[in-house]
Chain A
Amino acid sequence: MTDLSNIPRRTYFLVYLALMVLLAATVGATFLPLGPFHLAISVVIAVAKAVLVMLFFMHLRHTRGRTIFLILGGFLLLLILIGLTNIDYFTRVNGLPMVH
């Protein structure tokens, strides 16, 4: 791992600023007539915020080797969990069991 003491405070502040701008953007977008794009925009912004937090606050930018493989493996499992669950439900002819 790289020496974290060399990272200037300014970097953290700029990332924080970017996160706040993205928050304002995602809240602002809900007041715009974007039709079906609301979901896509809010998910893209959320992923962007999460990536910023991971790269800079959790210093993945300075992390190498097995830790990265471990994290990628974890997200692959998450993809399988969410993906296969939803492939099942999305392709059911009778939909979900009825809620009364």
Chain B
Amino acid sequence: MSEISMVHDERTSIEGEDFEHLSLETQSMGMWLFLMSEVMFFGAVFAAYIVYRHAYPQVFEEASRHLDLTLGSINTAILLTSSFCMALAVNSAARGLRKQIVFFLLATVLLGIIFLGIKFIEYSKEFSAHLFPGGDFQYPGSDPARAKIFFSLYFTLTGLHAVHMIIGIFLILILARSAWRGHFTAERYAPVDMIGLYWHFVDMVWIFIFPLLYLIGPK
């Protein structure tokens, strides 16, 4: 097989081998570049949040009390724990411990699914309380029109975050299968590192979403 067609064959692979000639550092820099574009993506929504919270501080404070602080706090703890498991999965990959990579990846996925389950419970409570800013939006407070903005931002931020979680869970499951089949060694584990960075990024977005939506003002 000629040199050129070998290169071509590698690039058609789906498991990341097409970048194998790059160092781990270069691959992780590529991931960071993508993550910084994600920072700008979420940054735009956070900018909108700051504009409206600054304009209607009391409305935001009152509307925030309609969210479930207990479930929100539990979910934050679950997500931090899942990030911890992901960090251990990457560490296991660097040490070349195949079974531990799979174990910690599956623990990360399990915690991610529990997070989404709790988020689903929260959403159904808010939908049945008519707090979703759609056609039958009903708000018991003093300024429904402006509270609607708070709930629009709430569903946008948490919804985009949940979409990122779902993508992350699928990526980690594919990663766990590759790890189980022994595709990673202590020298070559860039995909574990990169998806790890992605998962921690999603955790970091939640670290800001949580206080800005759930923890406004005194209880």
Contacts and interface: CB of A to CB of B under 8 A. Distances in A.
Interface string A59-85: 000010011001101110110011001
Contact of B83 (A31, A42, A53): A53
Given A16-B80, A78-B39, A100-B145, A66 B29 contact: yes
B47 A70 contact: no
For this complex, into which size category does the number of interface residues on chain A fall?
35 or more
B25 A81 contact: no
Contacts of B94: 3-5, 7
B219 A31 contact: yes
Given A12-B87, A81-B47, A95-B55, A75 B39 contact: yes
For this complex, into which size category does the number of interface residues on chain B fall?
35 or more
Interface of A: 1, 3-5, 7, 9, 12-13, 15-16, 19-20, 23, 26-27, 29-34, 38-39, 42-43, 45-46, 49-50, 53-54, 56-58, 63, 66-67, 70-71, 73-75, 77-78, 81-82, 85-86, 89-90, 95-96, 99-100
B91 A12 contact: yes
A15 to B, nearest CB: 8
A58 B57 CA distance: 34
Interface string B171-210: 0000000000000001000000000110011011001101
A78 B219 contact: no
Given A49-B204, A53-B207, A56-B87, 16 more contacts: A1-B23, A4-B94, A5-B91, A5-B94, A7-B91, A31-B219, A32-B218, A46-B212, A53-B200, A54-B200, A58-B196, A70-B29, A71-B36, A81-B40, A89-B51, A95-B55
A1 B218 CA distance: 44
